[in-house]
Structure 1
Amino acid sequence: MIWLTTATFDRLTAELEERRGPIRAEIVERISAARDEGDLKENGGYHAAKDEQGTNEARIRQLEELLKEATTEPSPDDQTASAGKLVTYKFAGDDEESFLLGAREIAEDHTDVEVYSPQSPLGAALEGHKAGDTVDFEQPNGRVAKIEIVSAVPFSA
């Protein structure tokens, strides 16, 4: 399951409809117009439109898969770091920092908060642990750091 805010779910749903409808139709029109020009071998407009068509169809498949797996249900308020939670943590001796554990697409709608996916190194290290837990986190440089989870509360936009 992939957790999204309602705003992100609505934005992605609207994007999917736009890509399936008007964008797809406009690309097909351009391909048809380029075909009518004749020789396709050296027709840059035709090849550009075909490339754009492939990109659009790939994005449609990506959005369909994402939205099929998505939920906007609020996360339980159990202080466990999980998707849909605003996780506050600190490295030993450092200041507290917070991030939203969720799909990266959320960042476009909520620019005031960092968003990390559960598959990111930090997200994966903290997911499933509760407030008060200290977790070993392997940093990109290979060193292991101790991270304390201060809190994990349901996110509200």
Structure 2
Amino acid sequence: MNKIPLTEKGAQQLRGELQELKSVVRPKIVAAIAEARAHGDLKENAEYHAAREEQGFIEARIRDLEQQLAYAQIIDISKLKQDGRVVFGVAVDLINIDTDDAVRYQIVGDLEANIKKNKISINSPIARALIGKKKGDEAQVQAPNGITTYEITAIYYESADK
């Protein structure tokens, strides 16, 4: 399997979720299963079956997180060469040339991408169009409704989180 790019902050969030699942959620589910078993007949015990199903989901998520972290290539944004070019991890201010709408995106790995938080995947069309460009450059993005042109107005080499 190929390495998955991940920012340091993204890796910390995944580690935090994994720790929470292992140390808090898993023990609660084990206790719920034990309590449901104490109620007797397991064939018709809805609490037992629900707890076992939840246990399956949690164990699958734990395995998924462990695999993601094992294959992660963690990139510390603060240690990137700051030569004024758009690279993985940076935040970029853009202006849509046609509409004058301004937006700030941070370019992150697929595991961290969240458009509601303006974090876009390195594999997205916008990020691919921006990589390697500098402040003042224009980037053309092929969108479903045609080509959209953005101007890069600023590049930030620290996290876009406020």
Residue matched to 2:55: 53
Q: Distance in 2 between matches of 1:44 and 1:140?
A: 47
Correspondence for 1:123 among 108, 127, 135: 127
Q: 1:35 to 1:45 in 2, by over 3 A?
A: same
1:92 corresponds to 2:94: no
Q: TM-score, normalised to structure 1's length?
A: 0.75
Q: Distance in 2 between matches of 1:42 and 1:83?
A: 53
Instruction: Give a deviation string over 1:68-112, Cα, whole Å, max 9, x none.
Output: 3152512321222222201112221414321211256487xxx9x
CA shift, 1:137, in A, is 0.8
Residue matched to 1:80: 85
Instruction: Give a deviation string over 1:95-140, Cα, whole Å, max 9, x none.
Output: 4321211256487xxx9x6222223342333234333332221224
Q: TM-score, normalised to structure 2's length?
A: 0.73
- For structure 2, the 5+ residue unaligned runs are none
- For structure 1, the 5+ residue unaligned runs are none
Letter in 2 for 1:2: L
1:152 corresponds to 2:158: no
Q: Distance in 2 between matches of 1:57 and 1:124?
A: 35
Q: Percent identity?
A: 34
Aligned pairs for 1:1-157 within 5 A = 1-5=5-9, 8-68=10-70, 69-71=72-74, 73-74=76-77, 75-93=80-98, 94-103=100-109, 105=112, 114-141=118-145, 143-156=146-159
CA shift, 1:9, in A, is 4.0
CA shift, 1:56, in A, is 1.4
Q: Distance in 1 between matches of 2:67 and 2:23?
A: 18
Aligned residue pairs total: 150
